[in-house]
Amino acid sequence: MIDRGHFLNALRFMTIVPVAPSSDAAAPDWLSRSVKYFPVVGIGVGIASAAMWLLAGAIWGPAIAALLAVATSIAMTGALHEDGLADTADGFGGGWTVEKRLAIMKDSRIGAYGAIALGFSIALRVAVLTELPVWAGATALVAGHAAARVTPAFVLARMVYMSDVSAMKVAYAESPVRPDEFWFALIVVAIGTLPLAFISIRSVATGLLLGAVLAVALAAWSRRLIGGYTGDVLGAINRYSRSGSCSALRQSFDRPQQRQLIRLAFKCFSAAADAIDGVDHPATSTQHIVRQLHHEPVRCHKCRAAA
């Protein structure tokens, strides 16, 4: 059953979309109860980014379209996750004690570690999107934004909040995410990845796997360095998961092309060997290979003469 109040809380928290303020005070466990709707919000952000990707791609080249698509998602979320990534990188990279790391993460200024992590994250997403086919890129945006936003549910369930709760601007109390909320979020992620699965099921599997591995790695690193998580860590885990799924997606789409290039290389060697032996075989001729690259029909010289 859809709880409108918790969905609106998720929308307010994750985006800058104008939402009418609630007349009721937020319950202390509002974040845990809203987590199951994070992938729903992610699908909305992904659809907006995909629309920008398709629209800009019809006007400009893929590089500009990819940049605008990534910028759309950042603008819609108010750079929430990017801010968390930068603060986490600064804190983990520049602090030597738990207290120092947490203090750095609360500092609104950005340091060298944060700038490098932020720049690399954005550049990676733009570069990967640039090289994807048009509709694969559109579906990947929706799937990636949905999948990355399920990671906070696992962190909230397994780790302890380490920042000062009394200093937070909103009410917060640690509360476990219920099993039905987990399943709801996972079903939403499955729905969000379904269009991409019709294009390449391998892409979905590898993207989810690498995204999950990087999310778990950063969560484990956070537990070791500060003993738990903070809001910034949640944002960083989201970006890590998103970047990992992007990288795996690009590699997955590369595989068919790599296999084709390997087959063509063998045919080139065969054509060279036949040329040395004075054999003119249409299946291994240089003309055949060139035509295959351009997807043209290939006919041997006898067929052409008969035609």
Mean pLDDT in order along the chain per 10 residues (307 residues): 81 89 67 90 96 95 95 95 94 92 91 94 92 91 93 86 65 73 94 90 87 91 92 91 78 52 46 49 46 44 43
Residue 229, SS3 per DSSP: strand
Q: How far is CA 258 from CA 74, 127, 251, 275, in A?
A: 33, 19, 10, 26
Q: What is the reported pLDDT for 88?
A: 95
pLDDT at 269: 45
The 3-state DSSP composition of the chain as helix, strand, coil percent (nearest 5) reads 75, 0, 20
Q: Which residues pair with 161 in a beta bridge?
A: 229
Whole-model pTM?
0.78
Euclidean distance between CA atoms 233 and 146, whole angstroms: 18
d(CA 241, CA 237): 6
Q: Is 259 exposed, middle or buried (0-12, 13-18, 19+ CB in 10 A)?
A: exposed
* Residue 177 amino acid letter: V
CA dist 97 and 103 (Å) reads: 10
Residue 138 CA to residue 53 CA, distance in Å, equals 7
289 with 265: CB under 8 angstroms? no
* Contact yes or no for 38/14 (Cβ under 8 A): yes
Per the CB < 8 A criterion, the answer to whether 252 and 207 are in contact is: yes
Lookup result for tokens 């060279």: 272
Cα dihedral across residues 271, 277, 278, 281: positive or negative: negative
Distance between CA atoms of 14 and 208, rounded to whole angstroms? 21
Other Cβ atoms within 10 Å of 304 Cβ, number: 9
Which of 143, 156, 141 is CA-nearest to residue 35?
156
Predicted pLDDT at 156: 84
Question: Residue-wise over 152-175: b if at least 16 C-beta within 10 A, else e?
Answer: bbbbbeebebbbeeeeeeeebeee
User: What single-letter DSSP state applies at residue 150?
Assistant: T
